[in-house]
């Protein structure tokens, strides 16, 4: 009997402790910005990862989605805006999905827009038909991102003091370049870059040599087919002869073999492009690159964060998949090294992602990396609170 009374008393104490703990936790979440940010970060992470439970919709209202129209280099651009439905000014971000991006109604894109809006962010997806549909690189998109940022910052449902840029892969690098533009660099509060390249020339040479160089060491790298397709697009555009363009388009864009006679008929400029795309040694890749037209090499410099990093005033949050085949993680490490003295940079490497999409791997692997993602996203969502 004594033992039963002791157990009952202990259970009562435990129950009271849990009630008090739950009450304190509820007050912390409800009354402090840190608590609200932590709570909404947890909900966001479960929403975007491939997990069987997604409780975000249980605790948040359905966001609004509508089209936005704003000026661009070739007229008017259409964007999708996701935002909280309360009508209050919120933190905001312009996201650029980059080359060969998923479509506006892609389930992962819609899920991301809704998840960010439920977490307290106004989210606008900037679209580039040329880059998304043709796997092409269009330097003018950095200027279009500047216009997109200005448009979003002026909306009545946006807090202009908490507005930033973000992107994935090429889109992340373009966001970094846009953040350095004199028109907006003093107004961009943050840049969230997922899988960016730091220097376009270095990325091309690494793809051509099928190797990654970082901190004095070179390791093999098998670039993704999309990376090679984008590079093929860009390199073929440097050719002057229509016959060269036709032949290399068939070979590298349509996977059609060229006859010996066709290959022998290529101009020296076209053979340079072919050797870069077929893969070569690091030294030969550098020599071949030097033979490319000067305006092409200048364009690569202009779309490289490495050429603009000194003008970026925004807080930087960078995330990269350590085994990314589209852009090596070494590119983000170079960005980190160039900005390490600033003190307002967060860099996170994860293992359970396939570039910009959550991995479809096992739940154990996802949970193993979820905390890394949580810490990174907390710094972003904290801005909204």
pLDDT at 50 over 80: no
- Checking if the pLDDT of 132 tops 70, the result is no
Q: Which residue has the higher pLDDT, 262 or 315?
A: 315
Residue 34, pLDDT score:
87
Q: Is 194 helix (H, G, I), strand (E, B) or coil?
A: strand
CA distance 328 to 332: 8
Residue 355 pLDDT > 70: no
* 112 or 32, greater pLDDT: 112
Residue 178 has pLDDT above 50, yes or no: yes
pLDDT, tens only, 33-47: 888 898 899 889 889
Higher pLDDT, 100 or 17: 100
Reported pTM: 0.88
State the DSSP H helix or E strand holding residue 14, giving kind and residue range, or none if neither. Answer: helix 2-31
Predicted local confidence at residue 95, as pLDDT: 96
Q: How confident is the model at residue 368 (pLDDT cuts 50, 70, 90)?
A: low
Q: Which pair of structure tokens corresponds to residue 112?
A: 């991301």
* Over residues 281-286, mean pLDDT: 96
Token representation of residue 32:
């402090």
**In sequence order, what are the residues at sequence separation of 6 or more whose Cβ sits closer than 8 angstroms to the Cβ of residue 245?**
236, 239
Express each pLDDT in 295-352 by its tens digit.
Answer: 999 999 999 999 999 999 999 999 999 889 999 999 999 999 999 888 899 999 987 5
- Residue 5: pLDDT band (50, 70, 90) is very low
Q: Provide the pairing of β-strand 64-72 with 75-83.
A: antiparallel
- Gap between the Cα atoms of 102 and 61, Å rounded: 26
pLDDT of residue 346: 94
Mean pLDDT over 185-195 rounds to: 96
Q: Which residue has the higher pLDDT, 222 or 18?
A: 222
Quick check: 10 pLDDT over 80?
A: no
- Phi and psi (nearest 5°) for 230? -65, -45
- At 96, is the pLDDT very low, low, confident or very high (cuts 50, 70, 90)? very high
Where in the chain does DSSP place strands (E)?
64-72, 75-83, 90-96, 121-126, 158-168, 190-194, 211-214, 217-220, 315-321, 345-350, 353-354, 357-358
Provide, rounded to the nearest whole percent, the portion of the chain with pLDDT above 70: 85
């Amino acid at each position: 009997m004594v033992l039963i009374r002791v157990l009952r008393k202990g259970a009562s104490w435990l129950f009271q402790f849990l009630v008090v703990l739950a009450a304190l936790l509820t007050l912390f979440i409800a009354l402090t910005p840190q608590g609200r940010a932590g709570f909404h970060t947890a909900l966001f992470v479960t929403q975007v990862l491939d997990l069987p439970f997604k409780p975000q919709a249980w605790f948040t209202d359905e966001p609004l989605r509508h089209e936005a129209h704003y000026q661009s280099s070739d007229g008017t651009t259409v964007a999708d805006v996701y935002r909280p439905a309360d009508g209050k000014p919120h933190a905001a971000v312009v996201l650029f999905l980059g080359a060969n991006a998923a479509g506006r109604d892609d389930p992962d894109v819609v899920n991301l827009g809704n998840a960010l809006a439920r977490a307290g962010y106004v989210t606008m997806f900037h679209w580039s038909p040329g880059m998304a549909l043709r796997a092409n690189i269009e330097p003018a998109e950095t200027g279009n991102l500047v216009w997109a940022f200005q448009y979003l910052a002026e909306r009545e449902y946006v807090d202009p003091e908490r507005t930033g840029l973000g992107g994935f892969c090429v889109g992340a690098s373009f966001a970094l370049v846009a953040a350095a533009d004199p028109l907006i660099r003093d107004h961009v509060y943050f840049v969230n870059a997922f899988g960016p390249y730091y220097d376009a020339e270095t990325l091309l040479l690494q793809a051509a040599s099928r190797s990654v160089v970082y901190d004095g060491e070179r390791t093999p790298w098998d670039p993704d087919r999309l990376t090679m397709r984008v590079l093929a697009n860009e390199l073929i555009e440097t050719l002057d002869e229509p016959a060269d363009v036709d032949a290399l388009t068939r070979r590298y864009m349509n996977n059609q073999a060229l006859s010996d006679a066709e290959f022998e008929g290529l101009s020296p400029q076209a053979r340079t492009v072919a050797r870069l795309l077929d893969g070569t040694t690091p030294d030969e890749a550098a020599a071949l690159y030097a033979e490319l037209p000067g305006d092409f090499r200048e364009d690569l410099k202009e779309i490289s964060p490495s050429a603009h990093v000194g003008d970026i005033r925004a807080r930087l949050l960078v995330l990269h998949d350590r085994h990314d085949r589209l852009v090596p993680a070494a590119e983000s490490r170079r960005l980190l090294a160039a900005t390490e003295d600033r003190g307002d940079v967060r860099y996170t490497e994860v293992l359970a992602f396939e570039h910009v999409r959550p991995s479809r791997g096992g739940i154990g692997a996802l949970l193993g990396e979820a905390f890394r993602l949580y810490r990174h996203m907390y710094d972003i969502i904290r801005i909204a609170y």
